[in-house]
Amino acid sequence: MFSMPRVTRIGVFTSGGDSPGMNAAIRAVVRTAINEGMDVFGIYRGYEGMIDGQIEQMERHSVSNIIQRGGTILKSARSKRFMTYEGRLQAYQSLEKFKINGLVAIGGNGTFTGAQQFEKEFNIPVVGLPGTIDNDLYGTDFTIGFDTASNTVVQAADKIRDTATSHDRLFFIEVMGRDAGYLALWSGVAAGAEFILVPETKTYIDNITRLLKHDMRKNKTSGIVIVAEGDDMGGAYDIARQVKERLPEIDARVTVLGHVQRGGSPTVQDRILASWTGFEAVHALIEGKSSVMVGIEDKKITFTSFEDAINKKKNFNFGGLELARILAL
């Protein structure tokens, strides 16, 4: 077992899908590290940039006026090369040129999987920050970007409901969530959706049509269905088609929100979450922690191993689906 060297020069990068609040996290890491007398370097384009040596030293002014900006100033990219030992070796050699001996990785499952392997092979400690709008990482109540994305979905759903009501239409709104339905659940409850369809539960089209018929008998002529893209019956288009086949009298329309959910100025909650966890990540490296994700549970900072953050299943609040069903009656 290797002993970890004392961290004096930190590299920070963002990887995978961008999420609102990543810039706030970068800002917190850079300024905390400098305050601790450390050198800090920005690594551009995630693992791809690490391999290619796209690294530059950052100062306090490097992160001025970014806390309110969406996206990531360090850019992000997925890297097939980093999945190979040769790619990881090249990344290590790039870090060696700058004498970087500690990393803060901001991202999700894929980011942490790569970081875990990299640390095992090259003995560079890595601490992760949960940056994903999916909110699917075990070990934190919320992930950076989730709150902003939820608000984006709700704002869109509110506008769509206006036209749904005006034209007596049923709108199927598809949101991101290939493997997890947290975004669909929270935004669906907040938007007053009539139905919320998520990967965690099986969808029965006949149940939906039966309830829609019940609504029609009560003269309810419009509605909203929030569909996570990873629902077992398919995306919003597939589900809308199947409902339309059973109830041809319904005027069904589909809106896929797509990447608009990733963008926008982060909410207060995402800025605070990013700032707090970024601050703690630097101190975790100083204290010798590694291969852990910084999160917040019950308003307290937690450190969860990459192994658990990646592999353990976060508890899904099925009660939220029942809440939505009752409130939509």
Active-site residues: which are they?
Answer: 134
The separation between the first and the last C-alpha atoms of the chain, rounded to the nearest angstrom, is: 59
**DSSP notation for 63-125:** GTT-TT--S-TT-----SGGGSHHHHHHHHHHHHHTT--EEEEEE-HHHHHHHHHHHHHH---
Let me know: does 277 contact 284? Beta carbons within 8 Å. Answer: no
**Phi, psi (degrees; rounded to nearest 5) at 61:** -70, -15
Let me know: does 109 contact 137? Beta carbons within 8 Å. Answer: yes
Burial of 52 (0-12, 13-18, 19+ CB in 10 A): middle
Q: Which among 281, 306, 312 is positioned nearest to 116, based on CA atoms?
A: 306
